[in-house]
Every structure is written in C-alpha cells, then in structure tokens.
Amino acid sequence: MSQSLTSLIQEAQQTILQIRNHPDYKQIALNYSPDLTLGDATTALTYLQWEVEERTTIDVAKLEAFSS
C-alpha cells in the first residue's frame, strides 16, 4: 500500500530537519553556500503541502447548489 502524498511530504520535512541537525552537516555547513538551501527545500515542501490541502478542501461557494 502506498503512502499518501501528505505523509510523504511530512516525512521529507522530517528528513530535512534530521539533515539540518546532523553533526556532519553542521560541519559542512560552515563553508557550504549552495544556490539552493535546506530552507528552500522546506519552503517548496510547504507550498506543495498547501496545494494538497487546498485540493482536498471543499469550497462551499463553488458547489452547484450555491452558484447563482
């Protein structure tokens, strides 16, 4: 059985946090300045989570019974 997209996003966010807190990464991060950072990855996952949540939320105003 496959995981839901939401759970995969949460798992990825936890993995990024583990990387950020890992002693080896902290050592590398002292002189490491990539164009994209772990913060950028976290932000991308947050935006993806918002998109997933938006698609699963019912907008009552858009329901046919409520349209004019």
The pLDDT value given to residue 23: 96
Regarding pTM above 0.95, the answer is no
Angle at CA of residue 25, ends 21 and 28, nearest 5°: 145
Distances (CA, A) of 61 to 7, 13, 57, 65, 66: 29, 33, 12, 9, 6
Domain spans, the chain: 5-66
Cβ–Cβ < 8 Å for 13, 41: no
| Sequential pLDDT tens for the chain (68 residues) | 688 999 999 999 999 999 999 999 999 999 989 999 999 999 999 999 999 988 776 555 655 555 54
CA dihedral of 49, 50, 52, 58, whole degrees rounded to 10: 150
pLDDT at residue number 30:
92
- How far is the C-alpha of 24 from the C-alpha of 26, rounded, in Å? 5
